[in-house]
């Protein structure tokens, strides 16, 4: 008995020591992003003087068929072991805006268990120019931009842009040459949401005028985060093909998961998706409703960084 307790205490102490040693904080103005060690977990504090935070976990990518069944061998189930390559740097946009970026590059084929071909699937097999191709150049790139020092815009679609405010964050997902087994298959991407690390984030989903799905998550301290996910993607940053993206939320008492259903771009090979996510916090009745754009962007940033930290 005493031994068991001691063991558990040791375990707790060890765990605490490890996570204390490995937590990494990034603070931008009043927003803090904290990574909980080399795990897929990170927390976003919209306001460092309050205790509330949102915890996100960028969990996996997996191809799904039109019945929503997973395609065997065509998924990266755990970013915790995905070993992506990543780069970070500062850069200046043509309008003079300075920013910092973090980019994660994942080559699924480098993962054991990932198969280029479609054998062993009921989903059927698309006839490829090179039959029984056993290799793939599939690449998934997630880029996060943050620390913008003035309001600016980013291209999203030919002659179109999305605006990001000073201090904001922007995030995009790009993938190429994914070896889809069927033209109607999609690439599912999951993000788990928790509030204060232990409670499933209770989110309300609404639809913005432009069709974006808006997730409103109550964080406590009278703070609400709104995350906007666009419902379309393009075949290139300056693309003209508007392809639909499904956004759904599944929630139970222990977990809330946002799932993006990204398109198969055939006959093109690339997809460029800009969730145009902005996070805002509002003070309750008494306070002034202060939109803090930084917050939502932080959430996305955190997502990206967490994926990177898994390396
Ligand atoms: C952060 O919260 C404190 C305490 O409620 C408040 O005074 C302050 O204005 C908040 N900061 C921002 C940027 O909203
Ligand atoms: C995947 O493997 C290829 C060939 O070994 C290598 O060039 C590439 O950098 C790897 N990708 C990642 C993300 O590590
Ligand atoms: C970007 O610039 C900031 C501020 O000058 C600096 O602290 C940071 O280390 C730089 N980041 C990179 C990746 O160069
Ligand atoms: C961007 O950084 C450069 C060099 O540090 C600086 O001269 C310039 O004023 C900055 N731009 C803005 C918009 O602050
Ligand atoms: C692709 O999926 C559609 C819809 O499920 C199905 O009817 C079709 O047979 C599939 N094609 C192949 C080649 O399996
Ligand atoms: C991957 O890219 C290389 C170099 O561009 C090319 O030679 C090779 O055929 C590609 N492989 C596949 C499976 O597309
Ligand atoms: C995009 O802008 C360019 C340059 O202004 C113009 O020539 C072109 O017609 C525009 N294309 C569309 C689809 O609006
Ligand atoms: C930047 O954008 C914000 C929000 O859209 C706006 O309130 C602010 O006035 C803009 N600032 C400048 C200098 O344009
Ligand atoms: C969701 O909507 C319900 C009913 O309208 C409301 O009671 C709840 O506070 C909302 N939750 C969030 C996170 O906004
Ligand atoms: C939340 O709002 C209520 C009502 O306006 C206020 O009494 C309370 O102090 C606020 N809590 C925080 C943490 O700001
Ligand atoms: C889109 O961008 C690519 C690469 O930057 C360029 O080669 C192409 O001409 C552009 N297309 C249009 C229609 O502007
Ligand atoms: C996408 O595919 C269409 C049809 O094949 C082609 O006309 C277009 O140039 C492609 N777009 C890009 C960005 O490659």
Q: Are 40 and 49 in contact (CB under 8 A)?
A: no
- Confidence (pTM): 0.76
**CA-nearest residue, atom 1 of ligand 3:** 90
Q: Residue 172 CA to chain centroid, in angstroms?
A: 9
Q: How far is ligand 3, taken at its centre, from the CA of residue 300, in Å?
A: 19
Bigger pLDDT: 248 vs 47 = 248
Q: How far apart are CA 120 and CA 126, in angstroms?
A: 13
For residue 47, give the ligand 1 atom closest to its CA.
Answer: 1
Contacts of 226 (CB under 8 A, 6+ apart): 214, 215, 216, 217, 278, 279, 280, 296
Q: How far apart are CA 277 and CA 202, in angstroms?
A: 18
Q: How far is ligand 6, taken at its centre, from the CA of residue 136, in Å?
A: 7
Enter the tokens of residue 86. 């990543």
Instruction: Please tell me the number of the ligand nearest to residue 159's CA.
Output: 7
Q: How far apart are CA 270 and CA 239, in angstroms?
A: 10
Q: Which of 53, 220, 222, 290 to mutate to test the pocket of ligand 10 (most atoms within 8 A of CB)?
A: 222
Bigger pLDDT: 310 vs 89 = 89
Q: Does any ligand 10 atom lie closer than 6 A to the CB of residue 113?
A: no
Secondary structure of residue 187 in the 3-state scheme: strand
Q: Does any ligand 1 atom lie closer than 6 A to the CB of residue 295?
A: no
pLDDT in tens, 230-265: 889 999 999 999 999 998 888 777 778 888 999 999
Enter the tokens of residue 145. 């931009």
Confidence check: pLDDT of 287 > 80: no
Confidence check: pLDDT of 223 > 90: no
Q: What is the 3-state secondary structure (H, E, C) of 236-256?
A: CCCCCCCEECEEEEEECCCCE
Residue with tokens 């940033």: 301
Q: Which long-range contacts (CB under 8 A, 24 or more apart) does 127-135 make?
A: 133/179, 135/109
Enter the tokens of residue 38. 């080399």
Instruction: Please tell me the number of the ligand nearest to residue 206's CA.
Output: 9
**CA-nearest residue, atom 4 of ligand 7:** 159
Q: Are 297 and 67 in contact (CB under 8 A)?
A: no
| pLDDT in the model for residue 266 | 94
Confidence check: pLDDT of 24 > 70: no
Q: How far apart are CA 217 and CA 227, in angstroms?
A: 8
Bigger pLDDT: 212 vs 17 = 212
Q: Please give the DSSP secondary-structure letter assigned to residue 234.
A: B
Q: Are 231 and 214 in contact (CB under 8 A)?
A: no
Instruction: Please tell me the number of the ligand nearest to residue 239's CA.
Output: 12
Residue with tokens 């075949």: 235
Confidence of residue 66 (pLDDT cuts 50, 70, 90): very high
Q: What is the percentage of the chain residues whose pLDDT exceeds 70?
A: 66
Q: Which of 47, 283, 287 to mutate to test the pocket of ligand 10 (most atoms within 8 A of CB)?
A: 287
Secondary structure of residue 295 in the 3-state scheme: helix
Q: How far apart are CA 270 and CA 220, in angstroms?
A: 40
Q: Which of 98, 100, 148 to mutate to test the pocket of ligand 4 (most atoms within 8 A of CB)?
A: 98
Q: Does any ligand 1 atom lie closer than 6 A to the CB of residue 47?
A: yes
Q: Does any ligand 4 atom lie closer than 6 A to the CB of residue 183?
A: no
Bigger pLDDT: 269 vs 121 = 269
Q: How far apart are CA 302 and CA 69, in angstroms?
A: 29
Confidence check: pLDDT of 293 > 50: no
Q: Which of 137, 175, 269 to mutate to test the pocket of ligand 6 (most atoms within 8 A of CB)?
A: 137
Q: How far apart are CA 40 and CA 259, in angstroms?
A: 16
- CA torsion through residues 63, 65, 67, 73, sign: negative
Q: Does any ligand 6 atom lie closer than 6 A to the CB of residue 107?
A: no
């Amino acid at each position: 008995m005493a031994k068991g307790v001691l063991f558990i205490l040791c375990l707790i102490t060890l765990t605490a020591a490890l996570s204390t040693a490995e937590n990494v904080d990034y603070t931008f103005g009043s927003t803090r992003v904290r990574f909980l060690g080399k795990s897929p977990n990170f927390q976003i504090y919209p306001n460092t003087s309050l205790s509330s935070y949102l915890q996100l976990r960028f969990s996996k990518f997996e191809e799904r068929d039109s019945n929503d069944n997973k395609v065997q061998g065509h998924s990266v189930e755990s970013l915790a072991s995905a070993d992506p390559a990543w780069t970070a740097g500062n850069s200046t946009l043509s309008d003079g805006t300075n920013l910092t970026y973090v980019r994660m590059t994942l080559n699924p084929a480098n993962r054991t268990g990932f198969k280029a071909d479609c054998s062993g699937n009921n989903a059927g097999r698309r006839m490829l120019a090179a039959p029984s191709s056993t290799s793939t150049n599939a690449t998934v790139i997630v880029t996060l931009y943050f620390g913008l020092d003035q309001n600016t815009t980013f291209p999203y679609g030919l002659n179109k842009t999305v605006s990001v405010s000073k201090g904001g964050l922007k995030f995009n997902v790009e993938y190429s040459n994914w070896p889809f087994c069927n033209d109607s298959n999609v690439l599912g991407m999951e993000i788990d949401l928790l509030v204060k690390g232990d409670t499933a984030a209770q989110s309300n989903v609404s639809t913005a005028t432009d069709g974006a799905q808006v997730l409103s998550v109550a964080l406590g301290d009278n703070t609400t985060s709104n995350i906007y996910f666009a419902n379309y993607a393009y075949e290139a940053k300056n693309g003209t093909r508007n392809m639909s993206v499904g956004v759904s939320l599944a929630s139970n008492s222990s977990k809330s998961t946002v799932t993006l259903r990204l398109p198969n771009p055939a006959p093109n090979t690339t997809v460029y998706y800009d969730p145009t996510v902005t996070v805002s916090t509002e003070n309750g009745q008494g306070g002034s409703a202060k939109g803090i754009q930084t917050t939502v962007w932080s959430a996305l940033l955190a997502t990206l960084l967490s994926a990177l930290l898994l390396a």
